[in-house]
């Protein structure tokens, strides 16, 4: 009997289309790439999952069996790629206004022959739907690290053999007429590093990208009444720089009294011909690169964007922007910790991931039609702010590496979540207090069965009128794209329920004796998930929600799995009495009264904590400041515990006053900035001459430009700088 030899996965290729397969077979014959030493065939294709299980004989006698196996794998794959018959999942209605399409990058030359390219994992692309517009695509990946199969729904998937021109005609061309009618369109390329984002958006002279193709079409459409101008900018470390300006000036993102975004310092260059634009686009990019130090320094990673302005010209020669097209080439996602070799690029990677998450949170909020969109948390989102909401079109193109890549899986996971959301419930402010007292798990239980989880998070101030802010507080966990959530280390939670698509689920964690909740994950206010830290090793591994048939239908089991890499502990918490549904806005108020404590059963830890806190509060407020004498007039030693509690109360009162003082200091400071003269402003440490004149300009646009400390970011101050300034102001009071 001949010995069987296992075919290494790396020697097998997965090609996602028949044409690609044929092309490669031909190439394989020539180059002997991926050669399998069999009897009468030189090259074949196989899914890596199949390859893992197949053994290959080196003897001719087994080649027939091999061919049968491989043929069946091939037929299977081709049928999956081309037909809608083999659906593994029930089709869901893809929701939201954001269109999400995927693009699988073609193989690079060296990938065709190396082990990397050969270990492909995009095993299948299921297309469903018969019309061009209603199709849904499910992408399947074999996760080689966990032997799982991951499936993601997107609106469309462009295969390796499909070029950028096809993407243009399907995604961009139909939007051009709408931009001339006054709507804005935004196209965002998102994905892991080297997944083909720049090639898709910017392209090259030989293979023009979407920006170039769009400009070609726009210039064809533009008549005498219209003109075209472009701006190109990049966002580095949450600062926006003008790429068309040789000095690379920083762009200030301002908002006028009407809430209109103004990009101060961003060049707008008129374009009349394609070669002119081509020169501008490529030289602009070159100039941005030239600002980096040459030699050993790695090119800085940034988000780059092109803005095409359509201008309406009147007879007097004046022009007004009527519509915009944005093409955004996001910096590539990568797991900063895993990919940081010496720690040097760790901070950069972390910051980029944070900004990607912040942008995705914005898109998610817009897509879900949330009342509060966290524009202020992302500079890029602030630049795009007037192009995202309402009828404006947003399209995300998720670029995928064609081989197994955990970062690619992370990217598609995040993007596909946009397709499974439903508009969220807006909870009244009375529910807000609970957000600080327990872990909130918010799930949009769409029919598709995919849910989201989130964290309670401090609401930053926006310039909404105060009344709007109060009433529109959205308690739905919006922080969908939390930076610490890493699909490579953490399993995706899937919350499957059939009904109640827009339910919000409140979760209290039962801290049973065997449950280990990593302490470092709990922030002071009790929220388990915070977006402050990237790549925290201790994360929730999995969270599943299942109905327990034998119990009341309103009770469900939540299983949370934690992984703490540092101490190698895995723990699970099963809570049976803590879930409750909120059915629609009308009942929210009523329902929330029942959310925390289920009276018939023992209260959860969070409920007990709330009770304790309330008791303490009422005790403090009711404690008399002087100790009254007992009625019998007998002198007694004062009770020491009471003294202690009294002093606790005093320290509580002191800290209360403290925060009051802090608030009034901040208010005074902002009031000063809103009213002081230029000379007075110049005298403030950290403001200086330039910022002083800039503040005056802002005050011309809006009488009170600074309503919160966050607004100081508009004059280019970082949160750290603001904090330092406030410290100095406080110190000044006592000097
Ligand atoms: N469709 C394609 N077919 C073949 N090769 C491609 C394709 N798209 C991109 N590439 C190649 O892949 C590499 C990475 O492409 P690109 O620079 O566009 O990726 P990126 O996602 O923008 O990278 P980064 O995350 O670093 O910005 C380049 O060498 C490019 O030539």
**pLDDT, tens only, 556-595:** 333 333 233 333 333 333 333 333 333 333 333 333 343 3
Which numbered atom of ligand 1 lies nearest the CA of 199?
A: 18
CB 35 within 8 A of CB 43: yes
Q: Which residue has the tokens 């009444």?
A: 225
CB 324 within 8 A of CB 178: no
Q: Please tell me the distance between residue 195's alpha carbon and the centre of ligand 1 in angstroms.
A: 5
At 551 the three-state DSSP class reads: coil
Q: Please tell me the distance between residue 194's alpha carbon and the centre of ligand 1 in angstroms.
A: 5
Order across the sheet with 556-564: list the strands: 494-495, 538-547, 556-564, 569-575
Q: Which residue has the tokens 């954001």?
A: 98
Q: Please tell me the distance between residue 160's alpha carbon and the centre of ligand 1 in angstroms.
A: 12
- Residue 391 pLDDT level (bands cut at 50, 70, 90): confident
Q: Could you tell me if the CB of 11 is within 6 A of ligand 1?
A: no
Q: Please tell me the distance between residue 668's alpha carbon and the centre of ligand 1 in angstroms.
A: 52
What digits encode the pLDDT tens for the residues 323-342? 999 999 999 888 766 665 55
* For range 38-55, the mean pLDDT: 33
Name residues whose C-beta falls within 8 Å of residue 97's C-beta, 6 or more positions apart in sequence. 366, 367, 393, 394
Q: Could you tell me if the CB of 198 is within 6 A of ligand 1?
A: yes
What digits encode the pLDDT tens for the residues 641-685? 444 444 455 666 666 666 777 888 888 888 888 888 888 888 887
User: Taking 80 as the threshold, does the pLDDT of residue 456 lie above it?
Assistant: no
CA dist., res. 125 & res. 148, Å (int)? 16
Q: Could you tell me if the CB of 438 is within 6 A of ligand 1?
A: no
In sequence order, the β-bridge partners of residue 261 are 255
User: Taking 70 as the threshold, does the pLDDT of residue 189 lie above it?
Assistant: yes
What digits encode the pLDDT tens for the residues 706-718? 888 877 877 778 7
Tokens of 494: 């899937």
Q: Please tell me the distance between residue 28's alpha carbon and the centre of ligand 1 in angstroms.
A: 23
For the chain, what's the residue count? 735
ipTM of the complex, rounded to two decimals: 0.96
Q: Please tell me the distance between residue 108's alpha carbon and the centre of ligand 1 in angstroms.
A: 8
CB 416 within 8 A of CB 363: no
CA dist., res. 509 & res. 438, Å (int)? 8
Tell me the whole-structure pTM to 2 decimals. 0.52
CB 330 within 8 A of CB 356: yes
* For range 58-62, the mean pLDDT: 41
Rg (CA), the chain: 30
Alpha-carbon distances of 619 from 70, 390, 520, 576, 647, rounded to whole Å = 76, 50, 30, 33, 13
CB 162 within 8 A of CB 102: no
Which numbered atom of ligand 1 lies nearest the CA of 103?
A: 1
Largest CA distance in the chain: 111
In sequence order, the β-bridge partners of residue 125 are 139
- Domains in the chain: ranges and CATH: 4-82 (no CATH), 189-291+299-391 (3.40.850.10), 422-599 (no CATH), 655-734 (1.10.150)
Q: How many Å from the N-terminal Cα to the C-terminal Cα in the chain?
A: 93
Q: Could you tell me if the CB of 161 is within 6 A of ligand 1?
A: no
Q: Please tell me the distance between residue 330's alpha carbon and the centre of ligand 1 in angstroms.
A: 13
Q: Which residue has the tokens 């462009």?
A: 158
User: Taking 50 as the threshold, does the pLDDT of residue 70 lie above it?
Assistant: no
Q: Please tell me the distance between residue 383's alpha carbon and the centre of ligand 1 in angstroms.
A: 26
Q: Could you tell me if the CB of 400 is within 6 A of ligand 1?
A: no
User: Taking 70 as the threshold, does the pLDDT of residue 213 lie above it?
Assistant: yes
Q: Please tell me the distance between residue 217's alpha carbon and the centre of ligand 1 in angstroms.
A: 24
Q: Could you tell me if the CB of 332 is within 6 A of ligand 1?
A: yes
The DSSP call for residue 238 is T
Q: Please tell me the distance between residue 666's alpha carbon and the centre of ligand 1 in angstroms.
A: 48
User: Taking 90 as the threshold, does the pLDDT of residue 185 lie above it?
Assistant: yes
Query: What kind and span of H or E run contains 724?
Result: helix 719-734
Q: Which residue has the tokens 């879930």?
A: 579
Tokens of 565: 């890499």
Q: Please tell me the distance between residue 105's alpha carbon and the centre of ligand 1 in angstroms.
A: 7
In this structure, of 62-66, 109-113, 274-278, 496-500, the range with the lowest mean pLDDT score is 496-500
Which is nearest to 185 in space by CA: 398, 418, 392? 392
CA dist., res. 684 & res. 510, Å (int)? 51
Q: Could you tell me if the CB of 106 is within 6 A of ligand 1?
A: yes
Which numbered atom of ligand 1 lies nearest the CA of 201?
A: 18
Shortest-distance Cα residue to atom 4 of ligand 1: 106
CA dist., res. 262 & res. 694, Å (int)? 14
Q: Could you tell me if the CB of 108 is within 6 A of ligand 1?
A: yes
Q: Please tell me the distance between residue 718's alpha carbon and the centre of ligand 1 in angstroms.
A: 33
Q: Could you tell me if the CB of 399 is within 6 A of ligand 1?
A: yes
CA dist., res. 241 & res. 691, Å (int)? 18
Query: Mutation test of ligand 1: which of 110, 193, 199 has the most ligand atoms closer than 8 Å to its C-beta?
Result: 199
Could you write out the three-class secondary structure of 139-158?
EEEEECCCCEEEEEEECEEE
Which numbered atom of ligand 1 lies nearest the CA of 106?
A: 3
Q: What is the DSSP string of 448-468?
A: T---------PPPP-SS-HHH
Which numbered atom of ligand 1 lies nearest the CA of 192?
A: 25
pLDDT of residue 7: 34
What digits encode the pLDDT tens for the residues 412-442? 888 888 877 654 444 433 333 333 322 222 3
Alpha-carbon distances of 501 from 369, 372, 423, 505, 614, rounded to whole Å = 15, 20, 9, 11, 34
The DSSP call for residue 491 is P
Query: Mutation test of ligand 1: which of 102, 164, 189, 194 has the most ligand atoms closer than 8 Å to its C-beta?
Result: 194
Which is nearest to 327 in space by CA: 343, 309, 300, 348? 309
Tokens of 479: 């922080």
Burial class (CB in 10 A: 0-12, 13-18, 19+), 100: buried
Shortest-distance Cα residue to atom 14 of ligand 1: 194
At 644 the three-state DSSP class reads: helix
Q: Could you tell me if the CB of 374 is within 6 A of ligand 1?
A: no
CA dist., res. 694 & res. 282, Å (int)? 32
Q: Is 167 or 546 the better-scoring residue by pLDDT?
A: 167
User: Taking 60 as the threshold, does the pLDDT of residue 355 lie above it?
Assistant: yes
pLDDT of residue 720: 82
Which is nearest to 152 in space by CA: 374, 331, 418, 349? 418
Mean per-residue pLDDT over the chain, rounded: 62
At 674 the three-state DSSP class reads: helix
- In terms of DSSP H, where are the helices of 40-158? 48-53, 63-82, 109-113, 115-118
CB 447 within 8 A of CB 501: yes
Q: What is the DSSP string of 258-273?
A: T--EEEET---EEE-S
| Residue 502 CB coordination number (10 Å) | 19
Tokens of 382: 């602030």
Q: Please tell me the distance between residue 561's alpha carbon and the centre of ligand 1 in angstroms.
A: 37
Shortest-distance Cα residue to atom 9 of ligand 1: 196
Q: Please tell me the distance between residue 193's alpha carbon and the centre of ligand 1 in angstroms.
A: 8
Query: What kind and span of H or E run contains 688?
Result: helix 688-701
Query: Mutation test of ligand 1: which of 16, 17, 105 has the most ligand atoms closer than 8 Å to its C-beta?
Result: 105
Shortest-distance Cα residue to atom 3 of ligand 1: 106
The DSSP call for residue 429 is G
Q: Could you tell me if the CB of 221 is within 6 A of ligand 1?
A: no
Q: Could you tell me if the CB of 203 is within 6 A of ligand 1?
A: no
Q: Could you tell me if the CB of 555 is within 6 A of ligand 1?
A: no
Q: Is 332 or 291 the better-scoring residue by pLDDT?
A: 332
Burial class (CB in 10 A: 0-12, 13-18, 19+), 305: buried
What digits encode the pLDDT tens for the residues 460-519? 333 333 333 333 333 333 444 544 433 333 333 333 333 333 322 222 223 333 333 333
CA dist., res. 375 & res. 478, Å (int)? 12
Q: Is 551 or 622 the better-scoring residue by pLDDT?
A: 622
């Amino acid at each position: 009997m001949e010995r069987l030899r296992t075919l290494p996965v790396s020697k097998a290729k997965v090609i996602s289309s028949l044409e690609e397969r044929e092309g490669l077979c031909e190439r394989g014959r020539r180059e002997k790439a991926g050669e399998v030493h069999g009897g009468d065939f030189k090259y074949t294709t196989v899914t890596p999952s199949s390859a893992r299980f197949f053994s290959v004989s080196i003897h001719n006698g087994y080649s027939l069996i091999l061919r049968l196996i491989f043929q069946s794998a091939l037929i299977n794959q081709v049928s999956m790629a081309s037909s809608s018959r083999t659906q593994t999942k029930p089709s869901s209605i893809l929701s939201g206004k954001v269109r999400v399409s995927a693009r699988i990058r073609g193989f690079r030359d060296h990938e065709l022959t190396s082990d990397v390219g050969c270990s492909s994992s995009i095993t299948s692309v299921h297309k469903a739907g018969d019309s061009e517009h209603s199709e849904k695509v499910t992408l399947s990946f074999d996760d080689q690290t966990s032997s799982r199969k991951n499936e993601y729904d997107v609106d469309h998937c462009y295969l390796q053999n499909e070029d950028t021109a096809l993407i243009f005609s399907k995604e961009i061309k139909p939007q051009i007429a709408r931009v001339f009618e006054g709507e804005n369109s935004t196209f965002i390329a998102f994905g892991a590093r080297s997944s083909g984002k720049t090639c898709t958006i910017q392209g090259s002279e030989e293979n023009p990208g979407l920006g170039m193709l769009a400009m070609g079409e726009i210039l064809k459409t533009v008549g005498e009444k219209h003109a075209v101008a472009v701006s190109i900018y990049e966002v580095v470390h949450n600062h926006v720089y003008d790429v068309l300006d040789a000095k690379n000036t920083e762009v200030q993102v301002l908002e006028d009294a009407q809430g209109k975004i103004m990009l101060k310092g961003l060049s707008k260059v008129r374009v009349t011909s394609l070669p002119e634009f081509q020169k501008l686009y490529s030289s602009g990019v070159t100039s941005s690169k030239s600002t980096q130090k040459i030699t050993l320094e790695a090119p800085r990673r940034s988000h780059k964007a092109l803005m095409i302005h359509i201008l309406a010209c009147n007879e007097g020669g004046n022009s007004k922007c009527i519509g915009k097209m944005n093409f955004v080439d996001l910096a590539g996602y990568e797991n900063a910790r895993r990919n940081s070799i010496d720690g040097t690029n760790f901070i950069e990677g972390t910051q980029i991931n944070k900004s990607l998450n912040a942008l995705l949170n914005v898109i998610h909020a817009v897509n879900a039609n949330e009342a509060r969109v966290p524009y202020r948390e992302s500079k890029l989102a602030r630049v795009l702010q007037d192009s995202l909401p309402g009828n404006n079109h947003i399209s995300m193109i998720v670029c995928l590496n064609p081989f197994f890549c955990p970062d690619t899986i992370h990217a598609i996971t995040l993007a596909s979540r946009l397709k499974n959301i439903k508009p969220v419930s807006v909870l009244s402010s009375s529910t807000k207090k609970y957000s600080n007292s327990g872990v909130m798990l918010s799930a949009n239980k769409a029919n598709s069965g995919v849910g989201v989880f989130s964290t309670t998070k401090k609401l930053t101030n926006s310039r909404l009128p105060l009344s709007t802010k109060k009433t529109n507080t959205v308690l739905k966990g919006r922080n969908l794209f939390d930076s610490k959530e890493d699909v490579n280390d953490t399993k995706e939670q899937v919350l499957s329920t059939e009904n109640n698509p827009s339910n919000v689920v409140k979760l209290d964690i039962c801290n049973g004796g065997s449950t280990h909740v990593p302490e470092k994950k709990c922030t002071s206010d009790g929220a388990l998930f915070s977006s402050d830290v990237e790549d925290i090793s201790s994360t929730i591994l999995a969270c599943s929600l299942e109905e327990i048939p034998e119990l009341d239908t309103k009770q469900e089991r939540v299983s949370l799995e934690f992984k703490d890499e540092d101490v190698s502990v895995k723990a699970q918490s099963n809570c049976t009495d803590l879930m409750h549904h909120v059915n629609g806005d009308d009942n929210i108020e009523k329902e929330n009264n029942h959310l925390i404590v289920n009276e018939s059963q023992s209260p959860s830890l969070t409920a007990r904590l709330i009770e304790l806190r309330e008791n303490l509060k009422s005790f403090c407020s009711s404690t008399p400041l002087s100790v009254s004498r007992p009625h019998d007039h007998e002198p007694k030693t004062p009770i020491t515990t009471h003294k202690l509690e009294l002093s606790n109360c005093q320290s509580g009162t002191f800290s209360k006053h403290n925060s009051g003082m802090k608030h009034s200091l901040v208010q005074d400071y902002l009031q000063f900035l809103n009213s002081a003269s230029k000379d007075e402003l110049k005298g403030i440490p950290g403001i200086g001459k330039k910022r002083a004149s800039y503040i005056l300009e802002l005050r011309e646009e809006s009488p009170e430009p600074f309503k919160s400390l966050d607004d100081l970011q508009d004059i280019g101050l970082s949160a750290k700088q603001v904090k330092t300034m406030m410290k100095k102001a406080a110190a000044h009071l006592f000097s």
